[in-house]
Copies of this chain bind each other. A is one copy, B any other.
Amino acid sequence: MNMQSPVSAKRCPTHPGELLKEDVLPALRLPVAEAARQLGVSRQTLYKILGGTAPVTPEMALRLGKWCGNGPGLWLRMQQAFDLWHAERALADTLAGIPSHVMG
């Protein structure tokens, strides 16, 4: 059994917005509107991310990375895991029809 590279877990990975909402914002004790202003995005855009209905784009990851001081990597990886998990399910049957070119 190959335990390496667990391409995607059974459970949906947490959306980066959740981390932002549950951990980061409370720690900074900032109202959302003020956070949005500092990040240079609209109030609504940040709300959507917090609600998990908008993705953390590479640009937003850069903003968050600078703002939180931890760099864009974490936000980007979280969003990527999230996207991949969903795409994998959306394309499940399509992928089944794609041939593999590395020794069946």
**B-binding residues in A (CB < 8 A):** 5, 7, 28, 38-40, 58-59, 61-63, 65-73, 76, 80, 83-84, 87-88, 90-91, 94-95, 97-103
Residues A68 and B5 in contact, CB atoms below 8 Å apart = no
Residues B101 and A67 in contact, CB atoms below 8 Å apart = yes
Most chain B CB neighbours (cut-off 10 Å) among A39, A98, A103: A98
**Main SS class of interface, A:** helix
Give the chain B neighbours of A38 by CB distance below 8 A: 98-99
Given contacts A58-B84, A71-B5, contact A40 B101 (CB under 8 A): no
Residues B102 and A69 in contact, CB atoms below 8 Å apart = yes
> How far does the Cβ of A77 sit from chain B's closest Cβ, in whole Å?
8
Residues A88 and B62 in contact, CB atoms below 8 Å apart = yes
